[in-house]
Amino acid sequence: MPRSAPARAPITSPAAATVFTTVLTEGPVSRVDVARRTGLSSAAVTKAARPFIEAGYLEELASEGRTTPGAGRPANPLAIRPDREYFVGVKITGDDLIGVVTDLRADVRASAHHALKSHDVGHVVRALADLVGELLSGPTPDGTSNLRERAYCLGVAVSGDVDRASGVVRYSPFLGWRDVPLASLLEDATGLTATLENDVKALAVAEQWFGEGVGASSFALVTVGTGIGSALVVNGDLVRGAHGVAGEIGHVPVADGGPSCHCGGQGCVEAIASTEAILVRARDVSGEPALTMEDAVVRARGGDEPLRAVFAGAGHAIGLGLAALVNLFGPERVVVSGEGVATYDLFEDQIRRTFAVQAFGSAARCGLVIRPLPFEEWARGAAAVAIQSLFVAESV
């Protein structure tokens, strides 16, 4: 069972959550500015902020940036005390566990990996509890206490169909799991409050609160690699899909009559641009059935035109998928990331060219950020979900 946490962030009302979230994601910010951005009155902001200051989550800076005691003047900026609480984030892959400890602003303070020997649920739960124990065994940065003393929440990211509200992994193809009540198993094993989320959605939460999505009411995160997926934020909320499916940019059909996809469709983005699809095509055009991805990348970078065309073709399919997404949604910004983007020098140009041609009118103004994704980022996404769970547990 999770430990009780009497002195924790006192989220007692929607206004409290709004004020704290605003300072967390946009601070330091004065009460007057919080009021302006949230539509609350200055008095409501002051009232909502006080318990957070008392509990040590927020502090008031003097106008020059120094800490000032007491209630202070409304113009003094409010700031987060990031070390007031720590959060554990773990990404479970088919091969290993990647874990981080972050502060309240999702800055990573510690990290660790454990290999997974099997996909047995009991084994994974024990390995994850060990990893959490290791991550939290160190001292706090100020040396006054132990990370564990200020950690209450665990976020876990898994690819597949994850029901955040009930804490159940409905289906994970990589783990071979169906309907595993992972959150409650992990709460028993770690003593932390656990929140599960689909891994791509978890990354999107990190972007929304602490990355490219800050200040954007709508954006999309697209991940490219073994699979191709996305998470969409519209009007500040993650799109979850009425039937549990949303953001499946990998299964947007862009090439009528194109290659068959494992989903049963044809010409899906993933059937052309996933790591596996690129490799199959590279072996085909080179006539070398044993060609490795590493070699294909080296030779494409060295100027092998047929292989360069395979990567460009993948970039073209991704660009078509992005155009579909942006013409339908009109997000302010799209981040394209994922392990497949480690080789993005081979397809970034084509992604941008195709997107520019197919984006409709002013939708082309959507900002396109293409960048690699360090694997630890997935675990940081899980920690961001744990941070977010402070505020939205009731509404999810």
Which stretches of the chain bind a copy of itself, using CB under 8 A? 216-218, 230, 232, 234-235, 237, 239-249, 251-258, 263-268, 316-317, 320, 323-333, 357-358, 360-363, 365-366
Min CB(159)–a copy of itself separation in Å? 14
For a copy of itself, the closer CB: 255 or 293: 255
H or E, element range at 367: strand 367-370
Other CB atoms within a 10 A radius of the CB of residue 47 amount to 15
For a copy of itself, the closer CB: 43 or 245: 245
Alpha carbons 180 and 172: distance in angstroms, whole number: 9
Contact between 169 and 162 (Cβ < 8 Å): yes
Instruction: Rounding to the nearest 10 degrees, give the CA dihedral for residues 335, 341, 342, 343.
Output: -140
H or E, element range at 200: helix 199-210
Min CB(86)–a copy of itself separation in Å? 32
Min CB(123)–a copy of itself separation in Å? 28
Residue 386 phi/psi, 5° resolution? -65, -40
Q: Which residues of 49-85 are buried (b: 16+ CB within 10 A; e: fewer)?
A: bebbbebebbbbbeeeeeeeeeebebebbbbbbbbbb
Contact between 383 and 88 (Cβ < 8 Å): yes
For a copy of itself, the closer CB: 139 or 367: 367
Min CB(315)–a copy of itself separation in Å? 13
For a copy of itself, the closer CB: 97 or 320: 320
Min CB(157)–a copy of itself separation in Å? 20
Min CB(73)–a copy of itself separation in Å? 31
Min CB(233)–a copy of itself separation in Å? 10
DSSP secondary structure of 10-73: ---SHHHHHHHHHHHHH-SEEHHHHHHHH---HHHHHHHHHHHHHTTSEEEB-TTS-B--SS--
* Structure tokens given for 66: 């120094």
CA angle 324–230–166, rounded 5-degree value = 135
For a copy of itself, the closer CB: 4 or 235: 235
Min CB(197)–a copy of itself separation in Å? 16
Contact between 219 and 332 (Cβ < 8 Å): yes
For a copy of itself, the closer CB: 142 or 394: 394
For a copy of itself, the closer CB: 10 or 265: 265
Min CB(380)–a copy of itself separation in Å? 25
* Structure tokens given for 382: 């899980």
For a copy of itself, the closer CB: 147 or 336: 336
Residue 333 phi/psi, 5° resolution? -155, 150
Alpha carbons 180 and 123: distance in angstroms, whole number: 13
Min CB(40)–a copy of itself separation in Å? 13
* Residue 104: HSE in the Cβ half-sphere, 13 Å Cα cutoff: 22
Contact between 252 and 324 (Cβ < 8 Å): yes
Instruction: Rounding to the nearest 10 degrees, give the CA dihedral for residues 212, 213, 215, 219.
Output: 130
Whether the upstream peptide bond of residue 28 has omega within 30° of 0, thus cis, is yes
For a copy of itself, the closer CB: 171 or 295: 171
For a copy of itself, the closer CB: 140 or 266: 266
